[in-house]
Amino acid sequence: MSAPIQPPPYRPDPATKALLERMEASNAPSYATFSPKEARAAMVKAGEVADMAPPEVASVFDRTVPTRSGHSKIRVYEPNADAANLGPRPCALFFHGGGFVIGDLDSHDNIARSIAVGADCMVVAVDYRLAPEHRYPAAVEDAVDVYSWLKVNAGEFNVDPDRLAVSGDSAGATLAAILTHVAKERGETIRAQALFYPLLDMAGGYPSHTEFRDMPPISEDVLAYFWRHYLGDDAEAIATKPDVTLSPIVADDFSGLAPAYIMTAGLDPLRDEGAAYAAKLSNAGVDTVYSCVTGTIHGCLRMGKFIPAAFDALDAASAFLKRRL
C-alpha cells in the first residue's frame, strides 16, 4: 500500500513572511476595530501601499445601469484598441471583494484590468451596494440585475451575450458563484467562472478556519465583523436556513455549472471551503481547475508590490477565461 498523500506545508513563502513581519511591525488595527467608513478608508490606504501599478488597457469608462433598487454603477474595460473591428466581444463580469462591507471599483481596478488584458476580453466591474447601509440580499440583487441587464443590452458595449464569464475575489467571488446557479436555473449559459479565494460557506468550521483564525487580513474576528454588518440582526436566523445566495456550497446540484478556475491561498481561513467547492464542481462533472498558492494570504492579488507569486495564478485564471470565452 502506498503512503497517503500529505498536504503541502502551509508556511509563508519568503515574500509573504516579509510582508507579515512588516504588518506586525506597523501594529495596524484589525478591520474589526473600525466603523465601516473607517474600514473602507483603511482598505484604500492598504492598496496604495501594496498594489502594483495597473496595466494599460485601451479604454475605460463608467456608467450606470438600471436595477430593482434604482441603478448600479459599472466600469467597462476594453483591452484592445481595434475592438470595433473585431465583432462582438467576449466579456467577464467582475465583482470586487471586501466582505460585502468594503471595497469598490477603484480598490480592485488592478485585478479587473489584469483580467481584461490577460483574457483579452471586455470586463464589466460592478459597484454593488454595501452593508451595513444595504444589507443582504442587496449585493446579490445588484449582481443578478446587472447580469440580467447585460444579457439583454450587451450590444451597447459590442459584447457577445453568449460569451459571458463571471469572476470575483473573496465576497465578490461569492457573487460570481451565485450567478452561475442563477443562470443554470434560468437555462442560460455562463461560459466560465474565475473565483479568487472565495467565500462560499457562511457556516465556516473548516480546519483552515481554525488553523489561520488569527491570520491577517481576514482573521476570524474580521469574518464575524463582515457577517454581522451584512446580515444584521437576522444573522442567527439566516444562519439556520442555509441558502445558495449566501453559501453557494449548500446547493443540491452542481452539475451543468460553468467551467471553473478556483484559486485559494494556503494561509487563508477560507482555503478549505474553496477546495471543497472545487471538489463538488469536479465531482459533478464540471471542468474545474483548482490552484492553491500555498505560501501566501488572503487578498494577495492586491499586494503585488510584496507578493508577486499570486500573479502566476491570476495569469493562469486569465488564460483559462480566454480559452473558455
145 flagged as catalytic:
no
Q: Report long-range pairs for 66-72 (Cβ below 8 Å, ≥24 apart).
A: 66/145, 66/149, 67/141, 67/142, 67/145, 67/146, 67/149, 68/141, 68/145, 69/129, 69/134, 69/138, 69/141, 69/142, 69/145, 72/126, 72/127, 72/128, 72/129, 72/142, 72/145, 72/146
298 flagged as catalytic:
yes
Tell me which amino acid residue 323 is. Answer: R
| CA–CA dist 117, 221 (Å, integer) | 36
Q: What are the cell numbers at 284?
A: 459533478
Residue 198: asked if its preceding bond is cis (omega within 30°), the reply is no
Catalytic, out of 142, 148, 298, 318: 298
Catalytic, out of 72, 170, 208, 318: 170
Catalytic, out of 109, 142, 268, 272: 268
162 flagged as catalytic:
no
Cβ–Cβ under 8 Å, residues 288 and 314: no
Cβ–Cβ under 8 Å, residues 59 and 113: no
- The residue ranges of DSSP E strands in 69-109, in sequence order, are 70-78, 89-95
The catalytic residues are: 170, 268, 298
